[in-house]
Amino acid sequence: MSISIFPTLIHYAPLGTTKLIKELKKEAYQIRDYDKEGQKWCKTNYPGGYTSYQTLSSLHTFSSTFETLEKSIRKAVKSFSKKLQYDMRDKEFFMTDCWVNIMPKSVTHPMHLHPLSTISGTYYVSTPKGTSSITFEDPRLPFYMAQPPRPFRYSITPKAGNLVLFESWLRHEVAANQAKEDRISISFNYHWR
Ligand SMILES: [Fe+2]
């Protein structure tokens, strides 16, 4: 018998209604068009794409649509945290950041983690045919010494209307978007108190 210890969990499941997704898509473009400062930042830091990460990163306090989304995500975070065996007695999760990402064809998002956060994730709003995957890296990688080759990455090709959650220390990347249309997502961080 073998026992699995210290597993790395990822939550991937549907969330929200068609109406909510449609509204989020509309607002994503409105935010991009309004956010001139963000557009300027992206020219240097996110070539070809748009993210409100640097300029409008509290969208859950900015729009009632994002506020509605946050309430649903928080429930999923709470349920995910039980599987992670967090002791959350007399504690609660709260969203610290929420931003939108618009990735036209060929735009990539390099390997990163979400420092100083507890649980992070992404909600997918638009995932046209050819949408790039989100790829997670085995967190044990820095400790490998004499291991033979084995898979050290895991990819999910997301579908619109689905939510991905992971612990914020888990490194991940998004390969170049191969879809002709924009890949649109909303990313966020949660902390606890
Ligand atoms: Fe990320």
Buried b (16+ CB within 10 A) or exposed e, 18-35: eebbebbbebbeebbeeb
pLDDT band per the 50, 70, 90 thresholds, residue 174:
very high
Domains held by the chain: number: 1
- Domain annotation covers residue 144: no
- Domain annotation covers residue 10: no
pLDDT tens column, 99-133: 999 999 999 999 999 999 999 999 999 999 999 99
Supply the pLDDT for residue 146.
Answer: 95
- Domain annotation covers residue 68: yes
Distance between first and last Cα of the chain: 39
Range of the domain at 64: 16-40+48-107
Residue 85 CA to its chain's centroid (Å)? 21
CA 173/CA 133 separation, integer angstroms: 8
State the pTM of this model. 0.96
CB-CB contact of 114 with 57 (8 Å): no
Supply the pLDDT for residue 131.
Answer: 97
- Domain annotation covers residue 124: no
Supply the pLDDT for residue 64.
Answer: 96
177 C-alpha vs ligand 1 centroid, how far in Å? 15
CA 166/CA 170 separation, integer angstroms: 7
2 C-alpha vs ligand 1 centroid, how far in Å? 32
CB count within 10 Å of CB 112 equals: 10
101 C-alpha vs ligand 1 centroid, how far in Å? 10
Supply the pLDDT for residue 95.
Answer: 98
147 C-alpha vs ligand 1 centroid, how far in Å? 28
pLDDT tens column, 62-98: 999 999 999 999 999 999 999 999 999 999 999 999 9
21 C-alpha vs ligand 1 centroid, how far in Å? 20
CA 52/CA 32 separation, integer angstroms: 7
